[in-house]
Structure 1
Amino acid sequence: MLGLFPPCCTSLAVGDARQLNRADNSVDAVLLLGPLYHLTERTDRIIALREAHRILKTGGFAFAVGVSRFASTLNGLFWGHLDDPEFVEIVKQDLIDGQHRNPNNHPNYFTKTFFHHPEELRAEVEEAGFHFEKTLAIEGPGWLLQNFQEHWNELGRRDRLLEAIRWLETEPSILGMSAHIMAVARK
């Protein structure tokens, strides 16, 4: 994607989402594509969101992505991981408080993460000072297709899949069915 931007506007910096090395009101948009699920403590997520708010220009947009509270349950059903009592215990904790832990570092059971309930993501974004616009389902139920690659590789099926996701992406009753959810907010 860097090729789409003029050379004067491309840069990359490694940093900590809780302490951004940017001036106040200096960016037009903020993409939070990871910090909110890798920061497992709520206070750290709020700090990261407040930092995003601080550097964002008035009227700018923030796109804050979380992993759905229900992702490991659905993934476990799909891949048969719920046959493993160890994974069942992980899922039970996910559903209680969103704190996903993989104590034995099983390669298929993801890493230490926080999983949001859709309303929880909204509440955190608002607490950080943003004006919440909407929450979107990124994959929608499409990620559970057993033949996803077949749907994606055939243009007509891909179009129908994307259209179905658009129909459902804001439906509150099924937001959590998507593996990832995104809060769209404005400063």
Structure 2
Amino acid sequence: METKEYLTNYYERYDEDGRLISKHGMVEYLTTMKYVEKYLKPNMRVLEIGAATGRYSHTLAQKGYRVDAVELVEHNIEIFKQNAIEGEPVTITQGNATDLSAFESETYDITLLLGPMYHLFTREDKIKALSEAIRVTKKDGIIFASYCMGDANVLSHGFIRGEIYNIIEKCMLNTETFDTFSNPWDIFELYRKEDIDNLRNEFNVTQLHFVASDGYTNHMRETVDQMDDRMYELYLKYHLAICEKQDMIGYSHHTLDIFRKD
């Protein structure tokens, strides 16, 4: 099967909206929105590449920003359209993050690449996706790129859930360095911070933030989901206070690399 088929099969069974509205899933969403809103100004245009079911696109459109969205998987596009509110300034196009030829260069003030880097497995495709996101962004515009982190998954899926030997048998882990290896049928590509830095350094951009989007949350998701509102608000405050501390980054399942196009 091609990568698109693996993704289609996965997302047809996966409740992406449900993940983001759980208490533990909301940590990633609220953190990402906090940083996006830090750079938003009136009348800005936004492009979301790999928009999935549109949680971010619809939120920003409902705040009055003009949003164009690109999504590869038809199932997600159908839900995206169902989630639309009449009159909101948002469009959705089927497309691939590695080829945005339908979009003109230097068009968008904010470009969100919040999903595609999870599902690209060759350096060539990763560079293409970043290059295209940067190309369509205006000079001095801001790009937000999300990644899944390897060590957090080795800890949670490997050791905590007891899958470590299965991971090793599938040749997905170097047992000397504990680097991870993925293929399209594994669905998710996993990174360390140095991998992300290496990709970004190919481009004429300036890094602004590197954020642990969900921090330690997914290692304690049951605890977070059971928190009452008062404790949850305190936990969010704590998370937002430490989410840029570099000594905490590797424990996060998701990270957010934020940089400006020079």
- Settle same-fold status: TM greater than 0.5: yes
TM-score interval for Structure 1 and Structure 2 normalised by the shorter chain: 0.7 to 0.9
Cα pair distance change 1:161/1:89, threshold 3 Å: farther
Checking the alignment, whether the CA contact within 8 Å between 1:93 and 1:100 is kept in structure 2 is no
Number of the residue aligned with 2:22: none
Alignment partner of 1:46 is 2:120 = no
Checking the alignment, whether the CA contact within 8 Å between 1:122 and 1:135 is kept in structure 2 is no
1:164 aligned residue (238, 249, 255): 238
Alignment partner of 1:100 is 2:182 = yes
Number of the residue aligned with 1:108: none
Cα pair distance change 1:169/1:79, threshold 3 Å: same
Percent identity between the aligned chains? Answer: 22
Partner Cα separation in structure 1 for residue 247 and residue 64 of structure 2? 38
Q: Which amino acid aligns with 2:148?
A: V
Structure 2 counterpart SS, 1:170:
coil
Matches within 5 A, 1:31-110: 31-76=112-157, 77-82=159-164, 85-90=165-170, 92-93=173-174, 96-101=178-183
Structure 2 counterpart SS, 1:61:
strand
Number of the residue aligned with 1:9: 89
Checking the alignment, whether the CA contact within 8 Å between 1:40 and 1:99 is kept in structure 2 is no
Number of the residue aligned with 2:217: 142
Partner Cα separation in structure 2 for residue 63 and residue 184 of structure 1? 5
Partner Cα separation in structure 2 for residue 98 and residue 45 of structure 1? 16
Deviation of 1:38 (Å): 0.5
For structure 2, which runs of at least 5 residues remain unmatched after alignment? 1-58, 66-86
Number of the residue aligned with 1:19: 99
Partner Cα separation in structure 1 for residue 179 and residue 95 of structure 2? 28
Partner Cα separation in structure 1 for residue 179 and residue 203 of structure 2? 20
2:193 aligned residue (103, 109, 118): 118
Q: Which amino acid aligns with 1:159?
A: E
Give CA deviations for 1:22-53 in whole Å, capped at 9, x if unaligned.
10100111111121121111111111101011
Count of residue pairs brought into register by the alignment: 176
Partner Cα separation in structure 2 for residue 99 and residue 25 of structure 1? 34
Partner Cα separation in structure 1 for residue 117 and residue 64 of structure 2? 26
- Of structures 1 and 2, the one with the larger relative CO (CA 8 A, separation 6+) is 1
Worse-matched range after superposition: 159-168 or 9-18: 159-168
Worse-matched range after superposition: 173-182 or 120-129: 120-129
Structure 2 counterpart SS, 1:99:
coil
Give CA deviations for 1:66-86 in whole Å, capped at 9, x if unaligned.
00121321222332323xx22
Report the aligned-residue RMSD.
2.3
Partner Cα separation in structure 2 for residue 122 and residue 134 of structure 1? 12
Checking the alignment, whether the CA contact within 8 Å between 2:224 and 2:232 is kept in structure 1 is no
Alignment partner of 1:132 is 2:214 = no
TM-score by length of 1: 0.83
